[in-house]
Structure formats: C-alpha cells, structure tokens
Structure 1
C-alpha cells in the first residue's frame, strides 16, 4: 500500500538513499532539506526512475517553515503517513581537540586548540538544537496528520554515540542520546492513537560532514578513521544502503507491534570491547 513519507535532511547522503529506496517500494516521497536545490536534485532522481517525489525547502528548527512545508506536502502528495527525522549533525565549536585532557593542555595556546574548558556554548546549543529540536519540532508538525489513523509511524535517526559516547564530541553524543530517549518517550505517549515511534542508530558511515575527519585527500584513513575501523569487527564503514532494510521494516506493517526501539546498524562496533 502506497504511503506518503516525509524525510527531513533528505538532501544528504544517508537520507537521500533512504528516500530513493522507499520510492522504489511505491511510496510517495517528500524530500525536505534546508537546501532547496539539494532536495530538488533527489526528487528529480526519484521521478526519473518512475517514482513520485517532490523537493521541499524546510528548516527543522523553525515551526513556521515546517508548517509551510506540510502545506505543500498535503496539497501535492496527500496526508503524511510516515515521518523520517533525518536532519542532524555536529559543530566544531562543540568538539575538543584531543580525546583525553592532559595537564599540558592548559598551556597550549595554539590557534583553534580546544579543551573541554574552551567548548563554546553556542556550538553546543547549535548541535543539541539541530539533533533534538530538529527531531521534536518536525514531529509536532507532521504527526498531526497521523493521529487516529492506521499504519502511521515516525522513525528517528539516533547514533551509536547514544549508547557509548565517542571521545571529542560531547555535544553530538549527548544530543543523540536525547534523541534515543525521546524516541522511547514518544512511543509511549503516542501508543494510544496508532502512531509507532522507533529509531535507527547508524555506526560509522562516510558522509559529507565527516569525510574530511575520517579520510585524507588521497582516500586513505586518518588516524581517527583507522581507529574506528580497528574497533569495527566487520572492518569497514557502513554504506548508505546498509540502512535500507531496517528502515523498510520499521515503515512496514510487518513491524506493527514494534514501537520504542532503537536498532543499531554498526558492523559490531558496540559489541566489541577492543580485546
């Protein structure tokens, strides 16, 4: 049965892949992104392959912007059945330079060097808002279409950082932990009105946001990139396609009795102790 599926942040690598996969299942896709040109590009690719999609500009931190996007979706595709909250990201101002604090760090005056004590509150606020409020506000807007109907669900994008925080990125780890917690809370809150709420938690995937941190210009791995691979039993980064099957399952009626879960998709990263 065809459904109307709204994806935020769908101009990016991961959610654009999900959008195209869901379109191939016969669903109508609303590709939402802050960058209208990125959203249109994904929608055009879907339509070129015989699917149905529209690109819509939307700022997930502004309710007014999302209200306008919902109006476009409702007019062109119909009532929203499924929402995938894919917008998110990190900010360098909420990131420490070193994984461990050392006494000599107090005397390091290098330009751009940041200890925990140098973290910028605005950078942390940006990261938390983008990931947590960027999940909550779109849900407030689009879930109004779902209340009291059958087959409706919300899928949030958490992270393996939500289970065990990575070094250097406290703001992002904390924000994704909030997304996982909110997923469980919302699943309970909406349980009486027919809306299921779940999340997927990707491990390490190369995206436009982290590629320069994990790989060198020649394609080789940075030190941090190699450290990640060494801690991933399957020995590779995830591919965007690795997220498809779990997403399709959570969208499908096959998961009709599944709500409040967070599915790790991490190549065994969380299971490995390093020994």
Structure 2
C-alpha cells in the first residue's frame, strides 16, 4: 500500500517524458491516475505501462488550450475516480529557436496557448473542483526558462515565466482553502523536447546530452524520473508546508 492509496492524480501531457514518469510514479505509490495528452497513442501506452505494473489508470484525450476539453477532462476524472486529489499541469511545447525580433506571431501564439493559457485553464478547473471536495495539491511545470532568459526562445521563456506567476497567485489565493499549489523548474532533462531544441541549436551535429551536459554543474542532464520524484513529493503529506514554492530541479543550472 503506497502513500497515495485511495487517492487519485491527474497528469496532463503524460504520453511521454516527464508527464509519463510522474504518472508512473503516482501509480507506483498507490494512486489511481488519469493520463491525458493530445497524443492518444502515447497516452494509451502510459496507461498500459501502469496497468502492466499492477496499477490503476485511465486515459482521456484533451487539448489543454481548449476550455471545453479541460472541462471535459476534469469531469471525466471526477467521474472515474470520484475526486481529484493531485493534479500535475505538465503539458507543454517548445517551439522554434528564433531571435526575438524575428519570432513569428504564430509561434508565440501556439506556445502561449498551450504553456500559459493551458496551465491557466487547468488551474482554474482544478481549483474549482478542489474547492468543492475539500482541497488537494497541484504542481505546475515551469522550467529554468521560467527563472532566467534563453536567447532564441522568447515565447517559451515568456510562457514559463507566466506559469511561475500563476503558481504564486493561485497559492496565495487558495492556500487557506486547503489547496497547495507549487511549481517545479526542470533544467536539461532527457526528453524529446530537449532533443528537439538541441537538434535546432546544433543542426544535428550534437546530441542533447553532448550539448547540455557541460552546462550543468553536476556534469549531466537529468532524467524524467528525477523530476517525477519531486513532483510526487510535492503532492505528498511530506510537503504539507510547501505553498507557492518555485523549485528548480536542474543540476545546479540556475545557481551559476
């Protein structure tokens, strides 16, 4: 029996990467997990992995940039599990590396729609649900790009700074209602997103590990599991005094 036995968790963007690792870790610790992603194949694979390990999971396709999809996701999760105890707003996209003055408006709009608006819509819906059910824990996925700048990634940086701001405000407004909202800020993590950015930056000449390892004081990039461990801990009773925290998990990247 894990510490989340009898509890439920919703993880957006859990068809791969950090989201998948978080969904699997919640399940390992006893939670029933709603897996959500726009990638149906990836989401269903995550559910399969959880079930094969003896866990309980379901899948619901949702585009977090669409309010109707988010409302349907919350309703489906509540119907499936009775309530939502933990929510992880992880869905995000990176876009293209382009100098600030040359950034296409469409690139900005697409990134902000998923990363910022998507987090906003999910937070709203999750908070409304938790106000009715007596509280819960929410973790938003920001990034080291929510703490510092990255040349060429201005829309992504803006979107992740927005996540930090929303996290702080939601925490201040709903902490006394028993809703703990925190954020994690991953550094370079071994995911498809990092591979995409490394490929753009080096035109395929270097892998994400070759490019990013030396930039982290630990001498390596992180794993999705290392971020998942923090996410799940923030939702646990051990983190009961954590509210409005913006926590880097970055191998020392922003300490430089």
Q: TM-score of the superposition, structure 1-length normalised?
A: 0.84
User: Given the alignment of the two structures, is residue 66 of structure 1 paired with residue 50 of structure 2, yes or no?
Assistant: no
Alignment of 1:115-130 (within 5 A): 115-130=99-114
User: For residues 69 and 116 of structure 1, what CA distance do their matches in structure 2 show?
Assistant: 35
For the pair 1:36 / 2:40, whether they are aligned, the reply is yes
Is the contact made by 1:162 and 1:177 (CA closer than 8 Å) also made in structure 2? yes
Pairing 1:197–2:181 present: yes
Provide Cα deviations, 1:117-172, integer angstroms capped at 9, x if missing partner: 32111211211221111101012222222116455111000100111111211111
Greater Rg over alpha carbons, structure? 1
Query: Does residue 263 of structure 1 match 2:247?
Result: yes
- 1:8 match: 12
> Which runs of 4 or more aligned residues in structure 1 lie more than 4 Å from their structure 2 counterparts after TM superposition?
148-151, 223-227
1:244 equivalenced with 2:228 (yes/no) = yes
Higher percent of residues as helix: 2
Specify every segment of 5 or more residues in structure 1 that has no aligned partner in the other structure, as ranges: 97-114
Unaligned runs of 5+ in 2: none
Residues 5 and 29 of structure 1 are in contact (CA less than 8 Å); yes or no, is this contact kept in structure 2?
A: yes
Equivalent of 2:51, from 47, 54, 76? 47
Partner Cα distance (2:8, 2:140) in 1: 17
Number of matched pairs: 249
Task: Provide the secondary structure at the position in 2 that maps to 1:192.
Answer: helix
**Aligned to 1:82, which of 83, 86, 101?**
86
2:27 and 2:50 in contact (8 A); partners too: yes
Contact 1:149 1:193 in 2 (8 A): no
Shift of 1:210: 2.9
Contact 1:215–1:225 under 8 Å retained in 2: no
* TM-score, normalisation: structure 2: 0.90
Give the equivalent residue in structure 1 for 2:152. Answer: 168
**Is the contact between residue 184 and residue 260 of structure 1 (CA under 8 Å) also seen in structure 2?**
yes
Query: Displacement of 1:259 after TM fit?
Result: 0.3
Q: Please list, as runs of the form range in 1=range in 2, the aligned pairs for 1:135-214 lying within 5 A after superposition.
A: 135-147=119-131, 149-150=133-134, 152-214=136-198
**1:132 match:** 116
Answer yes or no: is the 8 Å Cα contact 1:84–1:154 preserved in 2.
yes
Distance 2:41 2:213 in 1: 34
Are 2:189 and 2:222, in contact at CA under 8 Å, matched by a contact in 1? yes
Following superposition, the deviation at residue 248 of structure 1 comes to 2.2
Q: Counterpart of 1:124 in 2: which secondary structure? A: helix
Given the alignment, which residue of 195, 211, 233 partners 2:217? 233
